[in-house]
Amino acid sequence: MITHRNDIAFTLVYFDEKIKVETYEGEFRNLMSLINEKIYVEDFGECKGIGRCGTCLIVAEGMSGSAVMDRNEKSTLEKCAVKRANLRLSCQIMINKSLQNSVIKIVEEREDVR
């Protein structure tokens, strides 16, 4: 049986380094898992993807509307005093076509969240 995968391409930015990523739906559980696999970010995703710690913050630019924030993510961001509307938890973003051609910037400093 031959299956056709839909490739997804986007850019990760970490400390001004741009990393082109090509993946496909199902290769990684979520964006946090992909980031941890592709590049090492110290103390990133400490709760291992359950959306409670707020350590996997990213700025998402150009993501399509299918990447909607759910109530639990909003609650965690509020608990972590995140004020900027364009910040997301990478563990809550699934690898799908909503990432196509987007630019995902990994938050480097906790001060960047306000």
Boundaries of every domain in the chain: 7-113
Q: Which residue has the tokens 């996997």?
A: 56
> Which residues face 19 on adjacent strands?
12
Give the tens place of pLDDT for each residue, 2-53: 455 789 999 999 999 999 999 999 999 999 999 999 998 989 999 988 889 9
- The CATH T-level fold of domain 7-113 is Ubiquitin-like (UB roll) (3.10.20)
pLDDT digits (tens, 9 = 90+) for 75-96: 999 998 888 888 999 999 999 9
Q: List the one residue out of 59, 44, 54, 49 whose CA is nearest residue 11.
A: 59
What phi and psi, each to the nearest 5 degrees, are found at residue 6? -95, 110
CB-count burial class (<10 Å; 0-12, 13-18, 19+) for 89: buried
Do 29 and 50 touch, CB atoms closer than 8 A?
no
